[in-house]
Amino acid sequence: MADAAIRTRGLTRRYGDLLAVDRLDLEVRPGEIFGLLGPNGAGKTTTILMLLGLSEPTAGRAEVLGMDPTRRPLEIKRRVGYLPDDVGFYDGLTGRQNLRYTARLNRLEPKAAERRIGELLELVGLAGAADRPVEGYSRGMRQRLGLADTLVKDPEVAILDEPTASIDPTGVREVLALVRSLARERGVTVLLSSHLLHQVQQICDRVAIFVDGRIVAQGPMAELAERLASETLTMEVGLEAEPEVAEAALAALPGVHGVRRDERDERLWLVTGDSELRTALAGRLAERGLGVWHLRRAGDELDEIYARYFERGSRRGRGAGDGRAA
């Protein structure tokens, strides 16, 4: 157990009838960047609050740095940095003053704190804006100040809830680069949550795809992509035929699970199926005298992961009862 920075076993949280987090087994290794990924309402924030000892599990347990967060909330608070999804600052105070405030709350020795604050402001690229009131900061700047704020106490673990949400693409890149350098250069263990798989996947060593309170897949991103690729693929097909003929011909091919019109390009068909499909498309259609003018694997692996896992998993609110046999 001690070799995991964060571990949960059967971690569960209920809100009345709603099972917000359902028997979660999670393991985050020291020094890694772990992504807890899933659509809104998946239970990411609820999980994070339980890891921090800010919310009590209904069942199961969590261990962070070998401690039970519900029993040792203060020790957790001292050693674990937390960036909430709605990080707030005193707008009238400068960035530096806000960090000083956090340092005081954490009872850091003022001189050492001052030095550390200077370093952190440098690290997050806010040295130039440090002495301006936060009310003039952009969202990206606020988020970077949030990261600095999380790091003031020099935590061993940083838990970041939606660190890239609602900032512009440049801001996203900056924040992600920063998170990566924290893990790589400072050995901080990072757990981040996001509903934007595309944004964060590139910096995560491992991810858990989380839907309706349950993990539907867990592992290195590349492995998840591979697993999916062997399972299914979607091809974009352009056929020289009348729509009815084309649709029927595609649907009749071996290995096909579904045929639909490409909304982005009406002339194309999106054909989903198993690995047999690719050869069938190349060979059989020509045999039948149907000219294929376009044939391409649709989307990238990540698009597929996103669509497959997120769509497949999301049943909450559709009256699916307890049909949770994922």
Could you list the beta-strand ranges (E) of 76-127: 80-83
- Pick what 163 binds: Mg ion, ligand ADP, none; C-beta below 5 to 8 Å, kind-dependent: none
Contacting residues toward Mg ion, per CB under 5 A: 44-45
In the complex, least distance from residue 13 CB atom to ligand ADP, rounded to whole angstroms: 8
Q: Which range binds ligand ADP by CB under 6 A, 39-47, 103-111, 249-257, 281-289?
A: 39-47
The strand pair at 33-37 and 189-194 is best described as: parallel
In the complex, least distance from residue 217 CB atom to ligand ADP, rounded to whole angstroms: 16
Q: Which range binds ligand ADP by CB under 6 A, 42-50, 73-81, 133-141, 176-184?
A: 42-50
Q: Which is nearer to ligand ADP, 140 or 213 (CB)?
A: 213
Length reported for the chain: 326
Q: Which is nearer to Mg ion, 215 or 250 (CB)?
A: 215
DSSP 68-87: -TTT-HHHHHHHEEEE-TT-
Does 19 bind ligand ADP (CB under 6 A)? Our answer is no
DSSP 202-241: GG-SEEEEEETTEEEEEE-HHHHHHHHHHH-EEEEEEEES
Q: Which is nearer to ligand ADP, 56 or 300 (CB)?
A: 56
Q: Which range binds ligand ADP by CB under 6 A, 38-46, 272-280, 285-293, 299-307?
A: 38-46
Give CA separation, 29 vs 112, 122, 203, 241, in Å: 29, 28, 15, 54
- Pick what 4 binds: Mg ion, ligand ADP, none; C-beta below 5 to 8 Å, kind-dependent: none
Q: Report the residue from 7, 24, 43, 94 that binds ligand ADP according to the rule CB under 6 A.
A: 43
Does 46 bind ligand ADP (CB under 6 A)? Our answer is yes
Give CA separation, 41 vs 57, 194, 202, in Å: 17, 11, 23
Q: Mutual orientation of helices 169-186 and 139-151 as an angle, nearest 10°?
A: 20
- Pick what 94 binds: Mg ion, ligand ADP, none; C-beta below 5 to 8 Å, kind-dependent: none
Work out the angle at residue 261's Cα, subtended by the Cα atoms of residues 310 and 319, and round it to the nearest 5 degrees: 35
Q: Which is nearer to Mg ion, 85 or 301 (CB)?
A: 85
- Per the DSSP assignment, residues forming a β-bridge with 294 are 238
Binding site for ligand ADP (CB under 6 A): 15, 18, 20, 38, 40-46
